[in-house]
Structure 1
Amino acid sequence: MAQAAAQATIGSSEFDRDTAVVQRAPGVYDARLSEGWTIIQAVNGGYLLAVLGRALGEALPHPDPFTITAHYLTASTPGPAEIRTETVRTGRTMSTGTATLVQRAEDGSDVERIRVTAHYGDLGALTDEVRTTAKPPAMPPYEQCLGANDGPGASVIPGSSAITDRLDLRLDPATAGWAVGSPSGNGDMRAWFGLADGRDHDPLSLLLAVDALPPTAFELGVLGWVPTVELTVHVRCRPAPGPLRVAISTRNLAGGFLEEDAEVWDSEDRLVAQSRQLARVLQV
């Protein structure tokens, strides 16, 4: 598999540095949102969820997100941010918490960007039993999929594409027609997914993975910014080392909104995360 030659150690990668939080007071954490995770007009929603997820992982007694739901209230911008967490309930196997991400406006007022509710637990304590009818997405091998240098990609639409340099993303050619002006008309997007520095995946990077592919709206022939309104992620187990496969689909674009359902599969053919989001479609 044509991944980065050396696997970065979790804790020393760009993703870890850019999602780092520092506790300033009980339940309050400082963060700096990196411009390296911007796309088109704003900071990527999956990256933002990972930042909030890290803060909750430090605030709650359990380490791993089981389910996390975010409502995106206003567009976040690169720079300082404050995360305010609250522990709602603590149990033996799960704990529940909330978090808000706030940034300072030019007039000095605080602007709430995101509000999150999450259940945390220990993925390592779950049983190995699996009963499922779900199947990994049918995709060409990594080497036969398309990377950022294989076509115009994000340059098709105006704005930042900095996030593409942070990712090792290879699109299934069947879902990349939008990049050459020939969208399929199907609301599907599939890709091999990794971090550019080779960092192995963990639950926090799964929060990024569900929202890091080009929007399914592109394959419907609608180019532009597709900001997330609400995103819920279910993390099912810790991913095995190696690349992930991400499959996203939408069945209904109506009234300027669409839903996206995502599945994330690891190198051992396990379904490691699922998500659904509602997003606006703002054409260019």
Structure 2
Amino acid sequence: MPEAAPAPTRAAIGAGEFDRDTAVTRREPGVYDIDLSAGWTIINAVNGGYLLAVLGRALADALPHPDPFTISAHYLTASQPGPAVIRTETVRTGRTLSTGQASLFQYDDQDREVERIRVLASYGDLATLPEDVRTTATPPAIPPAEQCFGPDDSPAPIPGSSAITDRLKLKLDPATLGWALGAPSGKGEMRAWFGLADGRDADPLSLLLAVDALPPTAFEIGLKGWVPTVELTVHVRHRPAPGPLRVSITTRNLAGGFLEEDAEVWDSADRLVAQSRQLARVRLG
């Protein structure tokens, strides 16, 4: 009788590809160095959720509390793979919450320092929160993962870099995939099962990536091309249970070349673990 195939190895939290590529090196108090990985690019840009996780990791080191409760980012200029420096500042520390700000800088072709992204965040300890939940929110209705589709199932590749898709385990709800078949629904919805390709379970920092890792809802509205984030705010509500996440994103209003995306992230225990809203620019015509 042939031996059973060995179970796939799962990366542990702290030892996965996401941890390696978001790791920062403290140069001195409040100053961190990082080499932004090209593995988290889509089309021609470094993914905004990856960037937010990078700054979130620096703030977790700089502040006395471990977990982001709320973090708001303004994306000022497009980041490129390669060296960057992060500068943090502690704004306030308290017993249950601490607040800090951070900016990421790179150098342009004239060797001038350029600010790429600036964030303001409040951190606490998710492990200390009470278990009481009173909510009208319900998990998104997504078919089982085996009935959903990933990037490898797309009939046409995304132009430019799609390196981030190799870092993720995405399975999109067929009801939100009309854009891939040339027949967008017009509803501005995107839903998917989400995980990291190396099997690493989610933690609060990877939730900052999850809210910005799906294809843009603009695709289901009938638009194409890059949808750059202008501002992104994430609320982390709970430390996620092991297992895949479900992500639901909706857009209700596109006006003046800008749209909002509201995201919810649910864990395997049916808990709402993160929420976000972002403002993004779209290219019309």
User: Which 5+ residue runs of structure 2 have no aligned equivalent?
Assistant: 1-6
Q: For the residues of structure 2 that align with 1:15 and 1:226, how far apart are their CA atoms?
A: 23
1:43 to 40, 43, 46: 46
1:72-111 residue CA offsets vs partner (Å, 9 max, x unmatched): 0000000000000000000001100000000011111100
Q: Which runs of 4+ in 1 moved over 6 A?
A: none
SS at match of 1:87: strand
Counterpart pick for 1:61 among 46, 60, 64: 64
Q: 2:66–2:124: 8 Å Cα contact kept in structure 1?
A: yes
Counterpart in 1 of 2:224?
223
Measure, in 1, the Cα distance between the counterparts of 2:208 and 2:155.
26
What is the match of residue 4 of structure 2? none
Residue 17 in structure 1 maps to residue 23 in structure 2: no
Structure 2 counterpart of 1:222, which letter?
L
- 1:80 alignment partner, SS class: strand
Give the match for residue 250 of structure 1: 251
Instruction: Verify the 8 A CA contact 2:204 2:236 in the aligned structure 1.
Output: yes
Q: 1:166 and 2:162 equivalent?
A: no
User: 2:143 matched to 1:140?
Assistant: yes
Residues paired across the two proteins, number: 279
Contact 2:257 2:284 in 1 (8 A): no
What secondary structure does 2:234 align onto? Answer: strand
Corresponding position of 1:203: 204
After TM superposition, give the deviation of residue 283 of structure 1 in Å. Answer: 5.2
Per-residue deviation, 1:10: 1.2
**8 A contact 2:84–2:105 mirrored in 1:** yes
- Work out whether residues 65 and 203 of structure 1, in 8 Å CA contact, stay in contact via their aligned partners in 2: yes
Identity of aligned residues (%): 77
Residue 225 of structure 1 aligns to a residue in which SS? coil
Contact preservation (8 Å) 1:43, 1:78: yes
Unmatched tracts of structure 1, length 5 or more = none
**Offset of residue 23 of structure 1:** 0.2
Partners of 2:151 and 2:72 in 1: how far apart? 30
Over aligned residues, Cα RMSD in angstroms? 1.1
What TM-score comes out, normalization by structure 2 length?
0.96
* Residue 8 of structure 2, aligned match among 5, 11, 15: 5
